[in-house]
Structure 1
Amino acid sequence: MSSTRPGRAWIITPGLRSDRFAVAQRAGAAVAVVDIEDSVALPDKQTARTASEQFFALPDPPCTLGIRMNALTTLDGLKDLVALSAYTARPDLIVVPKVESPRDVELVATALDSDGYTPDIWALIESPRAFENLPAIMSAPRLGGVIFGSADYAATVRCGLGWESLRYARSALINAATAANVPAIDAPTWELDDPAVLRRDAERAKELGFYGKGCVHPRHVQMINDIFTPTVEEIAQARALVAAADASGGAVTTVDGQMRGTPFFNRARALVAEADGAS
């Protein structure tokens, strides 16, 4: 399991659009992922597979670079592993779609790990079977984190893409990920031109416990960063709570008229540690 946590905003860009590669990398996201799965039609897979190596060869990338390969249950997924093992410039991170077993994660690690190269491996959780197997998937030793695949999940279940329709799936994923101390990233908001929808979705995802959120357009990055990054006020409140906990010896106390105890202290300490580690 990876010991590091990713940044808050993730952006994904099509593998056939090399003209967008630099834009995606410099959009301000912590992770930029080139996609050779859903955004590429079957006849164009090999072209995208070859073209995507350029994504990792651009000079001085300002963020973590990843690739979303094809599912391991497809011939293209196997071809992806062969191609990735031969890339001269390699991704920092591999997003594996349609993960339904810890073996999916370990297969990618077995195929790609080598001396001096052990990419972070993230699982896209996007099927009912995956949700049935979440505890096992989370136990994969090489799992770096999980990403919610809302579009595929909704299509399989035949439910809507609205927040209420997918609340259970998101909650189940957060619960399993937190139990395993694995970070979880929410799916992109598919409405590109309404910032109010993006803000609402990002705020709900943060409140539910997601560590960050994906996006498919550069103009979504800043809002995701703003919402998921703890504010100066939130950090100050956490420091005050930690001070109150220390003063009370860890006993239940009152802070700003509110009763606070161990669960609140632990959360505040985690936020302060994150803020101090980022500074």
Structure 2
Amino acid sequence: MSALPLRVARAWISVPAPAVNRYASAKNSGAHVALVDLEDSVAPAKKQHARTIAERFFDDQATSGCLLGVRMNAPVLLDGIKDLAAMSGWSSKPAVVLVPKVESARDIELVAGVLDTADYRPYLFALIETPRAIEELPSIVRAARISGLVFGTADYAAALGCGMGWEPMLHARSVVANSAAAAALVAIDSPYFQMDDLDGLRQEAERAKALGFHGKGAIHTGQLPVIAEHFAPSQDDITRARAIVATAQNSGSNITSVDGHMLGRPFFTMARAVLEAAGAGEEPVR
């Protein structure tokens, strides 16, 4: 599976696997990706029940308005191994598998080795949430089956013993965004954990987008419209990008100008990326 369709999957949300009564609302929440969670939201004593019942989340996948996935336990743990064994036997399979505590390319390869079949290859996302993961990102993004990165501020801050504000997390966020871009992968930012502070969410979403993230997780359905709006190109962005692409084509991709601004190939590339993210369908700039 290519990672490219996921560039428009900007708003992510998850629901605890035991909360079956919340499955439908998560899938119809307006999220682009909805995950059933087997990891942090499930108590150890309920893990087996969770992995048994989670298959129901994917029963109506064909009619769902979003990509459906699972957040498994770390594959280096016994619960992660049990998750993989269970998922390999599910008749309804997740389109997305979020792999926690990834610290090497081997973690992704292990998950792919268990789940991949001749007719099934899920999108595999590495959850980057430890200092070691940040150090190992150049090798992690080279995993053959990786589709993208998700940054997790809570576990990362806990490991460092620091706050989760923008400044303490800026270095790690920058490394995640840069590593994803270097490997042409999707990068999804951590959720904003203050549920009722939509202004704070807007500010953090704008900053994350400016760093190069393609989307962001949500902890509540009320955050989803803000996330979707801020990571989607605006109409002004699209209009300007079209003008730049047209000017580039007319100039043969030589140095030119639009509205008094000098533009060259890096600007043409950025404009093309805006149109691709918006599904605007222009021909590539040559």
Question: Retained in 2: the 8 A contact 1:2–1:143?
Answer: no
Deviation at 1:137, TM superposition (A): 0.5
Q: Which moved more, 1:109-118 or 1:133-142?
A: 109-118
Match of 1:31 in 2: 33
Paired AA for residue 23 in structure 2: F
Instruction: Decide which of 100, 104, 109 is 2:103's aligned counterpart.
Output: 100
User: Structure 1 269/4 Cα, relative in aligned 2: closer, same or farther at 3 Å?
Assistant: closer
User: Structure 1 34/118 Cα, relative in aligned 2: closer, same or farther at 3 Å?
Assistant: same
Aligned residue runs from structure 1 range 56-71, under 5 A: 56-58=58-60, 60-71=63-74
Match of 1:2 in 2: 2
Q: Does 1:146 align with 2:149?
A: yes
Q: How many residues align?
A: 279
Match of 1:22 in 2: 24
Q: Does 1:261 align with 2:264?
A: yes
Q: Does 1:177 align with 2:180?
A: yes
Distance (Å, rounded) in 2 between the aligned partners of 1:274 and 1:198: 21
User: What's the CA shift string for 1:135-171, capped at 9, x where partnerless?
Assistant: 1110111101110011111100111100111000000
Deviation at 1:86, TM superposition (A): 1.2
1:164 partner SS: helix
TM (normalized to structure 1)?
0.96
Which contiguous aligned blocks of 4+ residues in structure 1 show a shift greater than 3 angstroms?
276-279
Paired AA for residue 198 in structure 1: L
Paired AA for residue 156 in structure 2: Y
User: What's the CA shift string for 1:108-143, capped at 9, x where partnerless?
Assistant: 111111231111111101111111111111011110
Distance (Å, rounded) in 2 between the aligned partners of 1:24 and 1:266: 36
2:166 partner SS: coil
Match of 2:89 in 1: 86
Q: Which moved more, 1:225-234 or 1:50-59?
A: 50-59
2:177 partner SS: helix
Instruction: Decide which of 53, 56, 68 is 1:54's aligned counterpart.
Output: 56
Q: Does 1:214 align with 2:225?
A: no
User: Structure 1 102/13 Cα, relative in aligned 2: closer, same or farther at 3 Å?
Assistant: same
Match of 2:246 in 1: 243
Question: Retained in 2: the 8 A contact 1:5–1:183?
Answer: no
Distance (Å, rounded) in 2 between the aligned partners of 1:221 and 1:203: 14
Deviation at 1:13, TM superposition (A): 1.2
Distance (Å, rounded) in 1 between the aligned partners of 2:35 and 2:233: 24
Match of 1:197 in 2: 200
Match of 2:132 in 1: 129
Question: Retained in 2: the 8 A contact 1:105–1:143?
Answer: yes
Deviation at 1:278, TM superposition (A): 7.2
Deviation at 1:255, TM superposition (A): 1.7
Q: Does 1:74 align with 2:73?
A: no
1:147 partner SS: strand
Question: Retained in 1: the 8 A contact 2:76–2:107?
Answer: no
Q: CA RMSD in A?
A: 1.5
Deviation at 1:58, TM superposition (A): 3.4
Q: Which moved more, 1:58-67 or 1:22-31?
A: 58-67
1:123 partner SS: strand
State, as a whole percentage, how many aligned pairs show the same letter. 50
Q: Does 1:166 align with 2:193?
A: no
User: What's the CA shift string for 1:214-270, capped at 9, x where partnerless?
Assistant: 112111111111111111111000011112222333222222122222211111122
Distance (Å, rounded) in 2 between the aligned partners of 1:42 and 1:10: 24
Distance (Å, rounded) in 2 between the aligned partners of 1:278 and 1:85: 37
1:173 partner SS: helix
Question: Retained in 2: the 8 A contact 1:13–1:216?
Answer: no
Ranges in structure 1 where 5+ consecutive residues have no aligned partner: none
Question: Retained in 2: the 8 A contact 1:11–1:214?
Answer: yes
1:226 partner SS: helix
User: What's the CA shift string for 1:17-52, capped at 9, x where partnerless?
Assistant: 111111011111111001110011111111111121
